Chain A
Amino acid sequence: MRLLQFFFHLGDISIMLKEGLVQFPRALKSFDLTVSQMHAIGYSSLPLIVLTSAFSGMVVTVQTAYQIREYVPLEYLGVGVGKAIMLELGPVITGLMLAGRAGAAMAAEIGSMKVTEQIDALEAFSIDPYRYLFVPRFFASIIMLPVLVIFANSVGILSGVLIANVALDVDIHTFAESLKFFFRYKDLLGGLAKSVFFGGVISTMGCHYGFTTRGGAEGVGKATTGAVVASSVLILVCDYLIGAVVYG
Chain B
Amino acid sequence: MIEVRGVRKSFNNNQVLRGVSFEVMEGETLVIIGKSGCGKTVLLKHLIGLIEPDEGDIVVDGIVVNRVKREELLELRKRFGMLFQSAALFDSLSVEENIALPLKEHSSMSKETIARKVKEKLALVGLEKIEHLKPSELSGGMKKRVGLARALVLEPSYLLFDEPTTGVDPIMADRINDLIIDLQNRLKVTAIAVTHDLRSAYKIGTRLALLSEGRIGFIGTLADIKNSKDPAVVEFIRGYG
By the criterion CB–CB under 8 Å, are B101 and A120 in contact? no
Binds B, one of A48-56, A122-130, A144-152, A229-237: A122-130
By the criterion CB–CB under 8 Å, are A124 and B50 in contact? yes
Q: How far is the CA of A124 from the CA of B78 in the complex (A)?
A: 8
Q: Is B82 an interface residue (CB 8 A)?
A: yes
By the criterion CB–CB under 8 Å, are B77 and A120 in contact? no
Contacts of A30 in B (CB 8 A): 104-105
Contacts of B102 in A (CB 8 A): 125-127
Q: How far is the CA of A116 from the CA of B150 in the complex (A)?
A: 16
By the criterion CB–CB under 8 Å, are B50 and A125 in contact? no
Q: How far is the CA of A116 from the CA of B88 in the complex (A)?
A: 6
Task: Specify the chain B residue showing the minimal Cβ separation from A120.
Answer: B50
By the criterion CB–CB under 8 Å, are B84 and A117 in contact? yes
By the criterion CB–CB under 8 Å, are A126 and B105 in contact? yes
- Contact among A116, A125, A128 for B86, CB-based, below 8 A: A116
Q: How far is the CA of A123 from the CA of B91 in the complex (A)?
A: 16
Q: How many residues of B contact A (CB 8 A)?
A: 24
Task: Specify the chain B residue showing the minimal Cβ separation from A117.
Answer: B88
- Taking the closest CB of chain B, its distance from the CB of A19, in whole angstroms, is 9
Q: How far is the CA of A117 from the CA of B92 in the complex (A)?
A: 14
Q: Is A113 an interface residue (CB 8 A)?
A: yes
Q: Is A112 an interface residue (CB 8 A)?
A: yes
Contacts of A177 in B (CB 8 A): none
Q: Is B166 an interface residue (CB 8 A)?
A: no
Task: Specify the chain A residue showing the minimal Cβ separation from B45.
Answer: A120
Q: How far is the CA of A126 from the CA of B73 in the complex (A)?
A: 8
B residues 80-98 in Cβ contact with A at 8 Å: 80, 82, 84-86, 88-92
Q: Is A109 an interface residue (CB 8 A)?
A: yes
By the criterion CB–CB under 8 Å, are B101 and A125 in contact? yes
The answer to whether A117 and B105 touch (CB under 8 A), given A124-B77, A125-B154, is no
A residues 85-123 in Cβ contact with B at 8 Å: 109, 112-113, 116-118, 120-121, 123
Contact digits for B171-199, partner A, Cβ 8 Å, 1 yes 0 no: 00000000000000000000000000000
Q: Is B74 an interface residue (CB 8 A)?
A: yes
Contacts of B85 in A (CB 8 A): 117
The answer to whether A124 and B74 touch (CB under 8 A), given A116-B86, A117-B85, A118-B88, is no
Task: Specify the chain B residue showing the minimal Cβ separation from A119.
Answer: B88
Q: How far is the CA of A120 from the CA of B150 in the complex (A)?
A: 14
- Taking the closest CB of chain B, its distance from the CB of A71, in whole angstroms, is 56
By the criterion CB–CB under 8 Å, are A121 and B77 in contact? no
By the criterion CB–CB under 8 Å, are B82 and A124 in contact? yes
Contacts of A120 in B (CB 8 A): 45, 50, 84, 88
The answer to whether A112 and B74 touch (CB under 8 A), given A124-B50, A124-B80, is no
By the criterion CB–CB under 8 Å, are B91 and A112 in contact? yes
By the criterion CB–CB under 8 Å, are B84 and A127 in contact? no
By the criterion CB–CB under 8 Å, are B88 and A126 in contact? no
- Contact among B89, B91, B92, B101 for A127, CB-based, below 8 A: B101
Contacts of B104 in A (CB 8 A): 30
By the criterion CB–CB under 8 Å, are A118 and B90 in contact? yes
Q: Is B54 an interface residue (CB 8 A)?
A: no
The answer to whether A126 and B86 touch (CB under 8 A), given A109-B92, A118-B91, is no
Q: How far is the CA of A116 from the CA of B86 in the complex (A)?
A: 7
The answer to whether A124 and B48 touch (CB under 8 A), given A109-B92, A112-B91, A118-B91, is yes
Contacts of B69 in A (CB 8 A): none
A-B contact pairs, 20 of them (CB 8 A): A30-B104, A30-B105, A112-B91, A113-B90, A118-B88, A118-B89, A120-B84, A120-B88, A121-B89, A121-B90, A123-B77, A124-B82, A124-B84, A125-B77, A125-B105, A126-B75, A126-B77, A126-B102, A126-B105, A126-B106
Across the A-B interface, the 10 shortest Cβ-Cβ residue pairs: A121-B88, A117-B88, A126-B74, A126-B77, A125-B102, A124-B82, A117-B84, A126-B78, A118-B88, A127-B105
* 20 extra interface residue pairs, beta carbon distance < 8 Å, beyond A118-B89, A124-B82, A127-B102: A116-B86, A116-B88, A116-B91, A117-B84, A117-B88, A118-B90, A118-B91, A120-B50, A121-B89, A124-B77, A124-B84, A125-B77, A125-B101, A125-B150, A126-B74, A126-B75, A126-B77, A126-B106, A127-B101, A128-B74
